Amino acid sequence: MKIGELSRETGVSIRLLRYYEQQGLLTSQRSEGGHRHYDSEAPATVARIRTLLAAGLPTRVIRDLMPCFEGDGVTLQACVHDHLRNQLAELDARMTELDQARTTLTEILATSTRAPARA
């Protein structure tokens, strides 16, 4: 399938599909005219990429995970579960930091709105 067809089928822009390919997440074959052609598995691959991006994983991690899928869905081999747990722990740590930053900002705003105006 050509890149335009893949874009229509997946709802992902052509520009983004090219980016996925540049990042090593998606592969294509080139015709003699230089046009990209994707195999029948490409829509499933794009769906996996989108799912992992939605989970907050960076493309460098997704690239490492792509060969580890089992079947047609998003089930991954057990050998990468520790890696995913580490990613989850990092996400939890970032959420804690953001929550602390939010609390601090809320306190600053509360203090600032209660302070008397100076003449």
**Does pLDDT of 44 surpass 90?**
yes
- Quick one: angle between helices 42-54 and 14-22, nearest 10? 80
Which tens digits make up the pLDDT trace of 11-33? Answer: 999 999 999 999 999 999 988 88
The answer on pLDDT for 43 being more than 70 is yes
- CB 70: neighbour CB atoms within 10 A? 10
Fold annotation for 3-114: Multidrug-efflux Transporter Regulator; Chain: A; Domain 2 (1.10.1660)
What rounded mean pLDDT belongs to the chain? 91
Q: Is the pTM of this model over 0.75?
A: yes
Question: How is 58-91 classified by DSSP, letter by letter?
Answer: -HHHHHHHGGGEETTTTEE-GGGHHHHHHHHHHH
pLDDT in tens, 72-99: 778 888 989 998 999 999 999 999 999 9
Q: Using one digit for the tens of pLDDT, what is the confidence trace for 51-77? A: 999 998 999 999 999 888 888 778 888
